[in-house]
A and B are shown apart, each in its own frame.
Chain A
Amino acid sequence: MSKDPGIPPDKVEIGGHRSYLVYGGYRYLKLSLLVYVLSIAAYIVDDPPQGPSGNTWLGYTLGTVGALLIVWLAWLGVRKRRYHRGRGAMQGWLSAHVHLGLTLLVVATLHTGFQFGANVHTLAYVLMCLVIASGMYGVLAYALLPDRITGNRRDTGFRDMVAEVARLDETALAIADRIDPETHTVLLRSVAKVRLGGSAWEQLSGRYRQAGELDALQRFIASKKAPAVGGAPLTERRATATISFVADRMFDMGGERRGESLQQLLQTIAERKALVARINRDITLRARLSAWLYLHVPMTLGLLAALAVHILSSFYYW
């Protein structure tokens, strides 16, 4: 699979999520309904002497259909990256992939005859269920998240937002440098601590570690500022250490030009803070949009292996 998650950060496709499911006048929905009805009806009608299992003519039939479906559905992953024959063709593949992928749940479950155990056969079944579950998450994610990503971006590309953070950093540093070295130092520290994104868990949970910006900065400010300002108590709960420092300065200095600079600095920092939050939100939404694929694809490879083990071992000891 490609190293890229498949969705370039600033090229998330949206708007097509409704149409692919009903592609071609519900063509694949109808096909999948036919598969459901046929396999369930056959299962009900068939009354093998020893009870339903994979070892009856219906069991072999459902197993063959299921195995071919799995291979064909997995082939979509290869086909998808080989060539794009336009949006329609791709939508057709995707529509078939989703609808027929869901039928697998019925086909394969009936193939088992509800006989489960601690063996390679049930392992293949469980893997298949996990692949399908992750795929169902993917369908939901692509139905819900792209709109939210667009709403959060406000027509700005991801790279543009990152460049804007850099520009705001530069502006803030320049202003701080005009005020005094101490303020510049505090800003430097703050800039170094601002992080975009984070570990996979931070990305998915949306809770990003920003402690560096708060704790170290606040300690530094407290030590530097206490004698001059008269020791206004800094609480750990203040979430905007840089902003409060600049605000304190503003009132301490009194000077009009300095006050203006500090006001500018305050605005710039607040702007940056909001932008960083938006970028991290974007990262989180994209992570949640693509996370399922990191399970779907590897588990599909695992499923293909488990399927091979299942079939080979079944016929090795026929």
Chain B
Amino acid sequence: MLTIRYLNPDGSSTEQQLEDRDITIGRSADNLVQLPGLLVARQHAQATLEPPKGLMIDSVSPTGIETRGRSGLMRLKLGRGEEARIGGHRLRLEYEEARREWVLEIQLGSAREVLERADALTSLTAAGWRFRGPGLALAALLLILGLLLPLAQRHFADAHHQPVPLLPTDAVWLAGRISDAHASFGRDCANCHQEPFVRVRDAACLSCHQGIKHHSDNQAIRAVAGLDERRCASCHLEHGGPHAVLPSSPGVCTDCHATPHFKDFAGLPPVGDFARQHPEFRPTLNTLQDGQWRALRQPLGQPLNKARESSGLKFSHAAHLKVEGLKTPDGRERLDCASCHAPAPSKAAFEPIAFEPHCQRCHQLDLLTAWGAQRLPHGDDELVRATVGAFYDKAATGSAAPRRRPGESAPRGAPQSAAALVDEVFDKRLCITCHDVVREPGKPPQTRPTQLQQSWLVQAHFTHAPHGWVQCADCHAAAASTQASDLLLPSIQTCRQCHVDPGSDRGVQSACVDCHDFHKAQRLPFEQLSETGGGTLGHETGKTSAPR
């Protein structure tokens, strides 16, 4: 009916034929199936063979039966080919077709084996922790997500293939925020990084920034500064924040400009920073030397008689800014700066000063004589002379003149000729009030053409627009100025009251490029060098020339 086959640890086996369907299993000798070892109860289990289902085992001992990792089972159906354990012994039920018999194979084990608990998890490795697997998985994951997928997305993405959403793109490589100016096209890295493993080429920048000029036309200056080898990105570093692409550190400029020998070389004083090592402003003045206009650049604060600004005019700011006001055709009126200096639409500078809008209301050119008055024109010496001459002729000889008896002299003080009256108008009465009058032998008197400067600091750019909240007098000492040749520009000390170097927290951080242009060459466009890879230009010589 049921064969019990005992498989001993030494490989031998014995068989036992049972006639009954019901068997008992235990350690004591009264069991049909006797199992050794203290892990087996004396009466451990009862079993019934129920073909074809298998062997139904009921545990008598509370220790129970173990199968497939579950222990302490009180009832178990052991099917064909299935295995159970009792006290360290493995029980396996088979149906042998040849013998047409059910066989219960019992692989006898030792209690010691079980008690030594070989399967106990006594280390982290036994508990499933590993080194290589997780490490390689992590490495593979990082390579796929961080490198391969972004590369694939870059390679296959074009106008027709948008990047696959949710998968990483080359945006994971973005080292820092793109500047606001470039944000509109910066999403596509390839717009600037046109060739893999090659630094961003100038051509990528110049495709938008066309016509940008080099720093200097002078090849020697460029050479000593290594400028011909520099790329746009040498100074304009991207991925640094909203405005980082504009170089703000003085170091970009002072690397060259701070060196003492720079003065000998380029005619420029060394500049290390703005706060301490920036020379006084050197305005460019119109000066009159030997009757010739010359532009002369000299530092502020030099003795004024050395070189004075000449405009051909006489003017006292102090006289016009009197606190008690001025007599005007419309009564007493107090002028201020804005009475004459009207901001230009850009607010960067001011509208030019002219006679008609700014002077004429008070300064009407009326020639008053004993014969009457004549209003003269402005701006045309010839026309003035003609007008005066005509007036004289008409007044002195015409019907308008008072009748003069023979032997009676002309009115006292009256000019004896038209030319004399013209001279008087130019030299003594009207023109000379505001203008330089030039007398050359054999020629009639003339007013010197005016040269009203609009800008003095030509090497820098200054705008009044952001300075609107400052009072004019804070920078310009106009109220104390009595001469037109007074230069009312503020000293660099005035600027330093507010403006400080980048990185300082003591005022308005201001970079070199806030006042000075870098790309200021007159002729040489940037691309001309960058196209040749930064070579020298054949037509240029190495001689230095001092910039203006």
Contact = CB atoms under 8 A, between A and B. Distances in A.
A312 B146 CA distance: 10
B62 A309 contact: no
Interface stretch (A133-141, A241-249, A297-305): A297-305
B142 A306 contact: yes
A305 B61 contact: no
17 contacts: A47-B251, A48-B251, A117-B175, A166-B116, A170-B115, A174-B38, A185-B61, A197-B122, A293-B131, A297-B135, A301-B139, A302-B142, A305-B146, A306-B146, A309-B146, A314-B175, A317-B189
Interface string B184-205: 0000010001001111100000
B42 A318 contact: no
Contacts of B247: 49-50
Interface stretch (A2-10, A15-23, A24-32, A263-271): A2-10
Contacts of B126: 197
A105 to B, nearest CB: 21
Contact of B193 (A3, A5, A197, A318): A318
Contact of B123 (A119, A286, A309): A286
A219 to B, nearest CB: 10
A302 B131 contact: no
Contact of A305 (B87, B142, B240): B142
Interface in A43-68: 47-51, 53-55
Nearest to B154: A316
Nearest to B235: A49
B108 interface: no
A51 B39 CA distance: 76
A198 B121 contact: yes
Contacts of A48: 249, 251
A316 B197 contact: yes
A240 interface: no
Contacts of B98: none
Contacts of B125: 3-5
Interface stretch (A94-102, A188-196, A230-238, A250-258): A188-196
A220 B59 CA distance: 15
Determine which residue in A123, A203, A309 has the highest number of CB atoms from chain B within 10 A of its CB, and name it.
A309
Determine which residue in A4, A123, A316 has the highest number of CB atoms from chain B within 10 A of its CB, and name it.
A316
B249 A49 contact: yes
In the complex, the 8 A-B pairs of residues with the closest C-beta atoms, listed nearest first: A1-B131, A301-B135, A298-B135, A166-B115, A302-B138, A305-B139, A173-B38, A309-B146
Interface string B116-130: 110011111111111
A179 interface: no
A209 to B, nearest CB: 11
B62 A290 contact: no
Interface in B364-396: none
A199 interface: yes
Nearest to A174: B38
B140 interface: yes
Contacts of A50: 237, 240, 244, 247, 249
A203 B199 contact: no
A177 B39 CA distance: 10
B230 to A, nearest CB: 12
B63 interface: yes
B444 interface: no
Interface stretch (B166-174, B354-362, B534-542): B166-174
Determine which residue in B115, B120, B126, B240 has the highest number of CB atoms from chain A within 10 A of its CB, and name it.
B115
A62 to B, nearest CB: 15
B129 A294 contact: yes
B176 A181 contact: no
B147 interface: yes
Contacts of A73: none
Contacts of A108: none
Contact size class for A?
A: 35 or more
B72 interface: yes
A313 B146 contact: yes
A313 to B, nearest CB: 4
B111 interface: yes
A283 B151 CA distance: 47
Contacts of B197: 315-316, 318
Given A50-B249, A299-B135, A191 B115 contact: yes
A152 interface: no
B91 interface: no
A184 interface: yes
Interface string B136-151: 1111111100110011
B404 interface: no
Nearest to A287: B124
B252 interface: yes
A232 to B, nearest CB: 20
B41 interface: yes
Contact of B115 (A121, A165, A184, A315): A165
Nearest to A216: B72
Interface string B458-479: 0000000000000000000000
Nearest to A223: B62
A84 B72 CA distance: 49
B117 A301 contact: no
A169 interface: yes
A291 interface: yes
Contact of B38 (A121, A170, A300): A170
Contact of A119 (B124, B137, B173, B255): B173
Interface in A112-147: 115, 117, 119-121, 123
Contacts of A163: 116
B272 to A, nearest CB: 12
A211 interface: no
Contacts of A34: none
Contacts of B189: 317
Given A185-B63, A197-B126, A309 B142 contact: yes
B413 interface: no
Given A170-B112, A318-B197, A119 B140 contact: no
A220 B124 CA distance: 34
A200 interface: yes
A162 interface: yes
Given A51-B249, A200-B127, A302-B135, A170 B111 contact: yes
A54 B237 CA distance: 12
A308 interface: yes
Contacts of A184: 38, 41-42
B71 interface: yes
A309 to B, nearest CB: 4
A184 to B, nearest CB: 6
A263 B255 CA distance: 93
Contacts of B139: 301-302, 304-305
Given A173-B38, A298-B131, A308 B143 contact: yes
Nearest to A201: B127
Interface string B213-239: 000000000000000000000010100
A139 to B, nearest CB: 19
B131 A117 contact: no
Contacts of B39: 173, 188, 191
B132 interface: yes
Nearest to B133: A298
A184 B63 CA distance: 10
A21 to B, nearest CB: 24
B147 A318 contact: no
B43 interface: yes
